[in-house]
Chains A and B, each alone.
Chain A
Amino acid sequence: AQSVSQHNHHVILSEAASLELGCNYSYGGTVNLFWYVQYPGQHLQLLLKYFSGDPLVKGIKGFEAEFIKSKFSFNLRKPSVQWSDTAEYFCAVNAQAAGNKLTFGGGTRVLVKP
């Protein structure tokens, strides 16, 4: 069975700082990879996704993620965060052979100080 680990549970940053959130998964087959974001009081929203092709994917609000197959990683980055990026971020994997369900990491709470 696949699993996803996010290394940082809490991150505190100042505005304009760079952000990188780690995500590693364990699964030997083909995967689809996702980052979801949950802003305070809101529901989960898709930030970006990787299915195939260019391993560097760009999402909404200036976020990007890089799929490194050899490291089983899909780290999320943003060069300069804003206060409005305060949220909880979840990495998720869909193992193509395991149907349509998503397997999520434990989440990383990001607090951006103004």
Chain B
Amino acid sequence: GAGVSQSPRYKVAKRGQDVALRCDPISGHVSLFWYQQALGQGPEFLTYFQNEAQLDKSGLPSDRFFAERPEGSVSTLKIQRTQQEDSAVYLCASTSFQLAGSYNEQFFGPGTRLTVL
């Protein structure tokens, strides 16, 4: 079975450019997460979807960051007017449906390494 896939794996952008990062979750997984991992640090939560609904976007660092999941499957993280501090690995994770108060394992993709020059 296929795992979580992300594309592109590597992206180099000039400062000020817009970028779009794609995540394909495991088929049937209703929950999808985005994390940002700066060099030498652990992943930090950005945003969370359940199906097409964005239930938590508290981790998005600025209004330049925007995520969507219009059909409840593939998700796109868009960063507008990229800055050097946006350079990081962007990780996507998905999980199957979980009841309130329970927790299911998050399966991570390989990440997209974004370098902003």
Contacts and interface: CB of A to CB of B under 8 A. Distances in A.
B59 A101 contact: yes
A11 to B, nearest CB: 15
Given A32-B103, A106-B42, A100 B95 contact: yes
A68 interface: no
A100 B54 CA distance: 13
B41 A100 contact: no
Interface band, chain B: 20 to 34
Interface string A80-100: 000000000010101010011
Contacts of B84: none
A44 interface: yes
Interface stretch (B12-20, B60-68, B69-77, B107-115): B107-115
B42 A100 contact: no
A71 interface: no
Contacts of A46: 105-106
Nearest to A38: B108
B33 A101 contact: yes
Contacts of A105: 42
A104 interface: yes
Given A32-B103, A102-B45, A43 B56 contact: no
A107 B89 CA distance: 15
Interface in B6-55: 31, 33, 35, 40-45, 48, 55
Contact of A100 (B31, B59, B109): B31
Sorted nearest first, the 9 A-B pairs with minimum C-beta distance are A104-B42, A44-B108, A101-B45, A43-B110, A104-B43, A106-B42, A43-B108, A107-B42, A32-B103
Given A43-B109, A102-B33, A102-B35, 9 more contacts: A43-B108, A44-B91, A44-B108, A94-B103, A96-B103, A100-B33, A101-B56, A103-B45, A106-B41
Interface of A: 4, 6, 32, 36, 42-46, 49, 51, 90, 92, 94, 96, 99-107
